[in-house]
Amino acid sequence: MNLFSRSATGAALATALAVTGVPAMAAPAAEAPVVLTLSTQAAGPTISRHLFGQFAEHLGTGIYGGVWVGPDSPIPNVRGIRKDVVAALKALRVPNVRWPGGCFADKYHWRDGIGPRGRRPVTLNPDWGGVEESNAFGSHEFLDFAQQIGADAYLSINVGSGTVAEAGGWLEYLTSPNGSTLARERVRNGARAPFKVAMLGIGNETWGCGGSMKPEEYAAELKKYATFVLNHHPAQQQAPNKMLRIASGPNQGDERFTDVVMSHWKDHIYSWGMEGLSLHSYTGIEKWPPSHPSQAFGVDEYAAVLRNTLDMDGYVRRHAAVMDRYDPERKVGLYVDEWGAWYAPLPGSNPAFLQQQNSQRDALIAALNLNIFMRHAERVRGANVAQMVNVLQAMILTSDRGIVLTPTYHAFRLYIPFQDAERLPLAFEAGDVVLGDVRLPRLDAVAARGRDGQVWVALVNLDPAQSLAVELAAEGGAVGAQGEVLAAPRFDGVNSFEQPQQVVPRPVAVRAEAGRVRLTLPPASLSVVALRR
């Protein structure tokens, strides 16, 4: 019996791994390679760099301790912002950061976070543990942080408990170059030049924590905010630099919400506008509260979570189909501005802080989601993983000792060449792997041509125990390839402060024969290769 058979049950496979002690990445490949046929001549849609966006909410230690330590901290910082976190995120070429939330955004009043920090009010954060909010990290600090990492600012405004006038004043304060009272106040607070705000989120989850609104109620609010909350920056008055307005959209499968908002947009397209509609969908919350462990899990948990991740494709397809009925020219983009894995809190942590570990499984979750978004690049124009530091599916974990780069961070780093690349057609038979009562595709892959003309292919082997041989057949042939693979001794492998390099990308072994590129994908791995043609 082959202990690593594709038809093995989850329990049997877990036992086999434990008994044999065979590291997952050392298992033999199946005999017949999977052939992927790549068309390099067909023109595909542009994969917006904003698909690789980040999300930072005032939640747990996502901001305080994660990004902000204050200018007097012994932790190296620039104006209170951690140098190590900035360097790591700058290396990812983060396109945008969404802030200040999340549920926090619809209780946030921007005036609490400006002026001398010692005079700012201390408020409460009722959504996330009722802890005190110092407001030390406010508008100026966030925009300083975004500039330090080279990212666009995606500002989420308060619709749930705020007013149109309050939001309009915030944008005038931040972006106006003239001598208005609000612009002069910004100058007194240390920012002579106006800030740029590239994206504006008009409310957050208005069907839930952002106001418990029916879609008709939200659509009425949306029209007012989209009309009166204006960006005054002189460099952002015309396309392509004009600020994008992103409407609060549906929760996962609520297609009626999308239908109502899009119908209102269609009826009032000439009097107000929006450039995007958000969609929120998390892996691991098919039952509430989230109960999947984020560490030391078995094959059954691995399979269930990846199966849930793949549901994202159906959500995107169904909401895009609704949008197509009202917007066949695809003027409005779909922005999946909250996605990621949501597990049970780490034992001993504050459950309201949403602190969890990040494993090789999460790197695959990231890769699968990014691949789905890229396959729908005609409609999906942006996405933001939740969240950037220390919360949920984090890129970075921090402590007073320094930082740890998670497997998810390394997955995002491997996908940098896909930012603003042109998607290319890629045909293959994925096959499947059966783990207990869960059936998964064995292979997931996408291809694109970078802005420099280089052709890139990302390949995910979902099989947790068996390697997979693949052949890349490109039009015109290929003389070689080079790239990196992200794999771990086991699919639950993590990076920690004690072992920060357990899961890191390594050079992938590639060979070229007869115009085809051949490589072997380790179990539960992500490989990204550049073809030489």
The residues annotated as belonging to the active site are: 205, 338
Distance CA 368, CA 513 (A): 29
Neighbours of 240 (CB within 10 A): 4
| Positive/negative CA dihedral, 445, 449, 451, 456 | positive
List strand residue ranges (DSSP E) for 137-183, in order: 152-157
**String of DSSP letters for 240-302:** TSSPEEEE---BTT-HHHHHHHHHHHHHTTTT---SEEEEEEEET-SSSS----SSS--HHHH
List the strands of the sheet with 426-427, edge to edge: 426-427, 34-38, 468-474, 516-521, 510-513
Q: Tokens standing for 179?
A: 């001598």
| Structure tokens given for 314 | 């159906």
The angle, 0 to 180 degrees and rounded to 10, between the axes of the packed helices 10-20 and 299-309 is: 130
**CA 527 to chain CA centroid, nearest Å:** 19
> How does DSSP classify residue 58?
S
In this structure, are residues 83 and 91 in contact, taking their beta carbons and an 8 Å threshold?
no
